[in-house]
Chain A
């Protein structure tokens, strides 16, 4: 993508609204949202684009923050307990596919094996777009609070759905939010860019994976031993 993902005026206006960015990896967690088989295969009812680059970019962010001591939290979406209403039957084929397949025990629910996971990582399963929503069925806020986390790095899919909604919610809970521009993915460029624009303006510091990874390293070396 040669053209800038977010226009300069939006980056400048967003930054003027927030204190300057500082990352302490000991108080930072990486959220990896919904990197489940369901979304990552071209035969999916809702396929995400540029999957190989996305996987690589997320793994780059994870490696840098894991090295710096930040917890990694894997988030998965489950439709357990959901059912199609009468009005949805026949018309909502993508929703039928989600409800039928995104269930614990199914391969579609599992995290893609290309993702760099470690035994020390944390896992939560959510039922809403935001991993912080009262109806999410997970207690991400408690997990983060126990570890004194005040900054989140958001990666995963889909940019404008679960990633953007979780980022908006995280800001409202008082977290500082870093949002990965190329370690998040959507089903089209247009919606991906639309989400990055509004997040950069109002809710998050939006940076590419390479810069996010560098921030983890710089801060770690600057921190007292």
Chain B
């Protein structure tokens, strides 16, 4: 995705509704969303390869924030029997195909092997776009609270779907939220930039990975 920063009018208005986020590594978690084969590997049938170029930038952000002491959490989207059984009673469309390819026994479900996942990192599987939704069934909210996390940095895919929805939920749960403009991706530039604009205005500070790592030092 091309580099994006929200326009000056948007950052000025955002500053009037919330103070800028500061990163204290002891209370900050990087939540990496849905970096799964389905989104990263063009060899998977019906894959959405919008994330194929994202493994490098995400690994760089993970390594940079890990070095400062931030917690790292990896989230995967996974559909189980309940959702897939419901879909079997429906005509096939792009939505049912999407969910079938993200079934928890499918190759698309696995985290890409290009990622540098640490042994102590958190791992959760969610069922809704937001990793903090009551119906996500992934327990991330409790895991973050148990570790005293107050600030969440969002990276991964897709910017305007699971990243955006998780960022909104995090803000409503009282976390301070940043989103990494260059470690997120969507299917088109238009939707990526639309999400970053609206998050900047109301819910999250939009920062580059370099800025985020600098802020945590």
Contact = CB atoms under 8 A, between A and B. Distances in A.
Contacts of B165: 168, 172
Top 9 nearest A-B pairs by Cβ distance?
A194-B194, A94-B16, A87-B19, A17-B95, A16-B94, A160-B198, A128-B172, A172-B128, A198-B160
Nearest to B161: A202
B134 to A, nearest CB: 6
Contact of A93 (B16, B160, B172): B16
Contacts of B202: 129, 160-161
A17 B98 contact: yes
A194 B197 contact: yes
B90 A133 contact: no
Q: Most chain-B Cβ atoms within 10 A of its Cβ — which of A168, A187, A188, A198?
A: A198
A190 interface: yes
Contact of B135 (A88, A94, A172): A172
Interface residues of A, number: 44
Contact of B194 (A46, A161, A169, A198): A198
A85 B164 CA distance: 25
A95 B17 contact: yes
Q: Most chain-A Cβ atoms within 10 A of its Cβ — which of B90, B135, B172, B197?
A: B172
B15 interface: yes
Interface of A: 7, 10, 13, 16-19, 45-46, 85, 87-88, 91-95, 98, 128-130, 133-135, 160-161, 164-165, 168-169, 171-173, 187-188, 190-191, 193-195, 197-198, 201-202
Contacts of B129: 168, 171-172, 202
Contacts of B90: 19
B160 A165 contact: no
29 contacts: A16-B93, A19-B91, A19-B93, A46-B17, A88-B18, A91-B15, A91-B16, A91-B19, A92-B15, A92-B19, A128-B172, A129-B171, A129-B203, A130-B172, A135-B172, A135-B173, A160-B198, A161-B201, A168-B129, A171-B129, A191-B10, A191-B198, A194-B197, A197-B194, A198-B164, A198-B195, A201-B191, A202-B160, A202-B161
A87 B24 CA distance: 15
Nearest to A90: B19
Contacts of A19: 90-91, 93, 95
Interface of B: 9-10, 13, 15-19, 90-91, 93-95, 98, 128-130, 133-135, 160-161, 164-165, 168-169, 171-174, 190-191, 193-195, 197-198, 201-203
Contacts of A88: 18-19
A160 B95 contact: no
A175 to B, nearest CB: 12
B19 A85 contact: yes
Contacts of B91: 19
B147 to A, nearest CB: 20
A190 B197 contact: yes
Contact of A17 (B93, B135, B191, B193): B93
Given A95-B16, A135-B172, A168-B165, A173 B198 contact: no
B168 A130 contact: yes
A166 to B, nearest CB: 10
A187 to B, nearest CB: 8
